[in-house]
Amino acid sequence: MKSPYQILGVSEQASDAEIKQAYLQLVKDNPPDRDQQRFRQIQQAYEAIKDGDSRLRYALFHLPSLTFDELLEHAFPQNRVAHAMPAEDFLKLLTSVASDKLPFKTQVKAS
Amino acid sequence: MSDIIIGIDLGTTNSEVAIVENGKVTIIADAGKKILPSFVGIGDGGEILVGETARNQYLVYPERTVKSIKRLMGQDAQVVMADRQYSPQEISAVILKRLKAIAEDYVGHSLSKAVITVPAYFSDAQRQATREAGEIAGLEVVRMINEPTAAALVYGAGQSEAKRMLVYDLGGGTFDVSVVNVQAGVVEVLSSHGDNHLGGDDFDQQIVEHIQNHLREQHGVEIEGHGKAMARIVRAAENAKLRLSDEPFVQIEEEYLLEHGGTPIHLTLELARSTYEDMIADYINATMDATHIALKGAKLTATDIDEIILVGGSTRTPCIRERLFDEFGFEPHGEVDPDLCVAMGAAMQAAMIAGQSIDTVLVDVTPYTYGTSALGYLDGMPYPYQFVPIIHKNSVLPVRKSEAFMTHQDGQRAVNVRIYQGEDPDALNNIEIGEFTIEDLLDVPAGNIITLTLDLDLNGILHVSAREKASGMEKSITINNAISRFAPEELAGAKRRIEGLFGEEGAETDADRSESAAAAEARNLIKKAESLFDTVSAEDKEDMVDLIETIMAGLESGNDAALREPVERLNDIIYYLES
């Protein structure tokens, strides 16, 4: 099972712009009209990591091999904790994470 | 050589057909005209008329002519044309057949495949009906693409820098607004919203009502029910609207509109642009509200938009440009004719599907949320029809999503699944677009898992399947509006009927024989005048149409004396044109 980063061919440190660029290039080479399966895979990979929010969500809920400490490390990298997140932002982050896109409910996502 | 696929814009008021040749998009003209009015009629000899001739006939024989059929697509409706009933699909098929013939004439061989555009906000039923119209016309609809997306494709092709565009598409009958990102050869729709029953026809209707009120107050006449007089007023209203795009005031004049209590009624009414703008203000406000919903859907604000693209003839209304300028702070784009760019985009997508070129790739979204209903809560209270969204508005197409549900009774052997389109948490406030039942479930305690999968394809058509997890038993349907949908044999019948209509050309009737010699001469003159329409200047044509209207009014009242003067003048014009 390839990770979204592998599908898009970007590093885990890639910026939003780099991820978008990689996505667009892949879409250009794999239009939805040609191979829908392939396009859907690219699209899902992009949606999983397209911005900070989704990358955080992906890091928190799609890497079961990580320990809790590692998860926290993923969520709040040490080098950025120097200026701690304001409480309001943290709450906003939590509510956005706890949205319907998460597998909390009796929901099964098929590809 | 790969098959040529034509691109068709099947509009409420106008239709066009285009192809890509040697990498260049061409709108195919018919007798010099790129625009085919979306009018269908039955002529004097029982022959089928499409386009300009049907449009001209509408004034004289509204009962034999159909306009704006697109507004009825997807509904369980029938229209009457020359005493026969037709479905909206059949009338649309007549227009498609004509466009197909125009393209075949141009390329010199037969064609069988098309990309047809539909309003982004067209529902599942409206899309199905469009596809059926294509089948009846003998066209395989290889793809339906959204009109604003097609327009964005035209503007996005060859664009080197990344841009965010707002496509504001106001046609004769529908309104769409899409937010589009154009970057690195990909035209990516970020969000779409609209109203599939809002357009220039509604603006005309406001003017028509204004005229009706005027006639009621000034002359005490109720014009409803006078078919020909109404047709003339509809045409006069449309002309007034068009002229108000350039002039602050227009004079609406129709002589001999009808007879009332023995005296002829002439219509004379001045309409100011400001009055007209007040009449349509609610509609314009609705389009601006939709624009904000689209921006919100794309998580953008007005300042993020780099360009505005205007599509559809109704965007020529000056107050629309002003409102957009007020919102966004810059002038909208209009380099590509707003009447033609949708057909051009359709042709570009067609060429891509045919394998000709892949300069620009389209990524589109659905403007609707699709889901089902389940036992749940509404406002904190248990409620049997809680809406459970499965595919969310603005999801990229194609999209497939599944959701798991459980039976709530021991030994429950059947589940009824309803599919809705809409945003309301109460499913009953959304549009139910289909339902089906899965029976013979296993006899097990409550909690039997059923997975429901919704699959929305590139054409925006929904396929649904449900599966009992334990047994693997599956049931699938393609959502179709059971009411408006044709059964296969009905479709074949419709196809034959429309083919028959086209085959009957040239037959003559004797309907006119009982008339006086003066009336017969007048009718012949009208035919002669109409045959010249394609070659005369707009100004001459306007004069001729005015005279024809006057003559028709005289014919209708049976007053031969009233014919003399306009017949003479029309004769003079024709003589002058032919010499």
Q: Are residues B64 and B115 in the same domain?
A: yes
φ, ψ of residue B263 to 5 degrees: the values are -110, 140
Q: According to the model, what pLDDT value does residue B314 have? A: 93
Spell out which residues of chain A touch residue B389, defining contact as CB-CB under 8 Å. 100
φ, ψ of residue A28 to 5 degrees: the values are -60, -40
Domain with CATH 1.10.287.110 in chain A: 1-50
Of A24, A47, A108, the CB nearest to B186: A24
- Domain of residue B150, CATH code: 3.30.420.40
Of B184, B396, B399, the CB nearest to A25: B184
Cα distances (Å, whole numbers) of residue B476 to B366, B387, B436, B438, B451: 21, 20, 9, 9, 12
Q: According to the model, what pLDDT value does residue B559 have? A: 72
| Residue B99, domain member (yes or no) | yes
- Whether residue B185 is predicted with pLDDT greater than 60 in this model: the reply is yes
Q: What is the pLDDT of residues B242-298, one digit of tens each?
A: 999 999 999 999 999 888 888 898 999 999 999 999 999 999 999 999 999 999 999
Spell out which residues of chain B touch residue A33, defining contact as CB-CB under 8 Å. 143, 352-353, 458
| Residue B22, domain member (yes or no) | yes
Helices assigned H by DSSP within B317-370: 318-328, 341-353
Q: What is the pLDDT of residues B73-82, one digit of tens each?
A: 988 899 999 8
State the amino acid at position B15 in one-letter form. Answer: S
Q: What is the pLDDT of residues B189-226, one digit of tens each?
A: 999 999 988 999 999 999 999 999 999 999 888 888 88
Q: Are residues B67 and B101 in the same domain?
A: yes
State the amino acid at position A71 in one-letter form. Answer: L
- Domain of residue B554, CATH code: 1.20.1270
| Residue B484, domain member (yes or no) | no
| Residue B298, domain member (yes or no) | yes
Report DSSP letters for B446-505, one per residue.
S--EEEEEEEE-TTS-EEEEEEETTT--EEEEE---TTTPPPHHHHHHHHHHHHHHHHTT
Q: Are residues B436 and B529 in the same domain?
A: no
What is the distance in angstroms between the Cα of A57 and the nearest Cα belonging to chain B? 19
- Where residue B379 falls among pLDDT bands split at 50, 70, 90? confident
State mean pLDDT over B332-352. 91
Q: Is A108 on the interface with B (CB under 8 A)?
A: yes
Which of residues 34 through 63 in chain A touch B, CB cutoff 8 A? 36, 39-40, 43, 47
State mean pLDDT over A49-55. 92
Q: Distance between CA B404 and CA B445 in Å, rounded? A: 17
Please identify which of the residues B47, B90, B169, B204 carries the catalytic annotation.
B169
Q: Are residues B128 and B111 in the same domain?
A: yes
Size of interface A-B (CB pairs under 8 A): 58
- Whether residue A102 is predicted with pLDDT greater than 50 in this model: the reply is no
What is the distance in angstroms between the Cα of B369 and the nearest Cα belonging to chain A? 14
Residue B262: exposed, middle, or buried by beta-carbon count in 10 A (0-12, 13-18, 19+)? exposed
How high does pLDDT run on average in chain A? 75
Report DSSP letters for B367-387, one per residue.
SS-EEEEEEEEETTEEEEEEE
Q: Are residues B161 and B82 in the same domain?
A: yes
Residue B315: DSSP 8-state = G
Q: According to the model, what pLDDT value does residue A103 have? A: 42
Q: What is the pLDDT of residues B42-95, one digit of tens each?
A: 999 889 999 999 999 998 899 999 999 999 998 889 999 988 999 999 999 999
State mean pLDDT over B21-33. 92
| Residue B327, domain member (yes or no) | yes
How high does pLDDT run on average in chain B? 89
Q: According to the model, what pLDDT value does residue A5 have? A: 94
Q: Are residues B337 and B390 in the same domain?
A: no
What is the domain count for chain B?
A: 3
Q: Distance between CA B192 and CA B145 in Å, rounded? A: 13
Q: Are residues B418 and B448 in the same domain?
A: yes
CA B296 and chain centroid, separation: 26
φ, ψ of residue B505 to 5 degrees: the values are -60, 145
| Residue B13, domain member (yes or no) | yes
Q: According to the model, what pLDDT value does residue A81 have? A: 45
- Whether residue A104 is predicted with pLDDT greater than 50 in this model: the reply is no
Of B185, B352, B399, the CB nearest to A33: B352
B169 counts as catalytic: yes
Q: Are residues B159 and B295 in the same domain?
A: yes
SS3 A16: helix
More confident site: B500 or B387: B387
- Segments forming the whole domain that contains residue B567: 517-578
Q: Are residues B461 and B556 in the same domain?
A: no
- Domain of residue B416, CATH code: 2.60.34.10
Contact at CB, A33 and B353, closer than 8 angstroms: yes
- Where residue B444 falls among pLDDT bands split at 50, 70, 90? very high
Q: Distance between CA B360 and CA B246 in Å, rounded? A: 36
Contact at CB, B185 and A24, closer than 8 angstroms: yes
Spell out which residues of chain A touch residue B186, defining contact as CB-CB under 8 Å. 24, 27-28
More confident site: B528 or B382: B382
Q: Are residues B454 and B535 in the same domain?
A: no
- Whether residue B493 is predicted with pLDDT greater than 60 in this model: the reply is yes
Cα distances (Å, whole numbers) of residue B316 to B115, B170, B287, B434, B510: 27, 9, 15, 39, 44
For B68, other C-beta atoms within 10 Å of its C-beta total 17
- Where residue B498 falls among pLDDT bands split at 50, 70, 90? confident
Select, from the ranges A31-35, B327-331, B553-557, the one with the highest average predicted confidence (pLDDT): B327-331
Residue A13: exposed, middle, or buried by beta-carbon count in 10 A (0-12, 13-18, 19+)? exposed
Give, rounded to a whole angstrom, the gap between the first and last alpha carbons of chain A: 13
Q: According to the model, what pLDDT value does residue A77 have? A: 61
Superfamily, domain A1-50: DnaJ domain (1.10.287.110)
> What ipTM score was computed for the predicted complex, to two decimals?
0.74
| Residue B157, domain member (yes or no) | yes
Q: Are residues B45 and B193 in the same domain?
A: yes
Q: Are residues B385 and B451 in the same domain?
A: yes
Q: Where does a domain end: B422, B454, B478?
A: B478
Spell out which residues of chain B touch residue A50, defining contact as CB-CB under 8 Å. none
More confident site: B537 or B384: B384
Contact at CB, A109 and B402, closer than 8 angstroms: yes
- Whether residue B2 is predicted with pLDDT greater than 70 in this model: the reply is no
Per-residue buried b or exposed e for A54-90, using 16+ beta carbons within 10 Å of the residue's own CB: bbbbbbeeeeeeeeeeeeeebeeeeeeeeeeeeeeee
| Residue B164, domain member (yes or no) | yes
- Where residue A65 falls among pLDDT bands split at 50, 70, 90? low
Contact at CB, A31 and B361, closer than 8 angstroms: yes
Spell out which residues of chain B touch residue A32, defining contact as CB-CB under 8 Å. 361-363, 397-398, 458
Q: According to the model, what pLDDT value does residue A78 have? A: 55
Q: According to the model, what pLDDT value does residue B537 have? A: 82
Please identify which of the residues B16, B30, B90, B147 carries the catalytic annotation.
B147
> What percent of chain B lies above the pLDDT cut of 70?
95
Instruction: Give B222's Cβ-side CA count (13 Å radius).
Output: 2
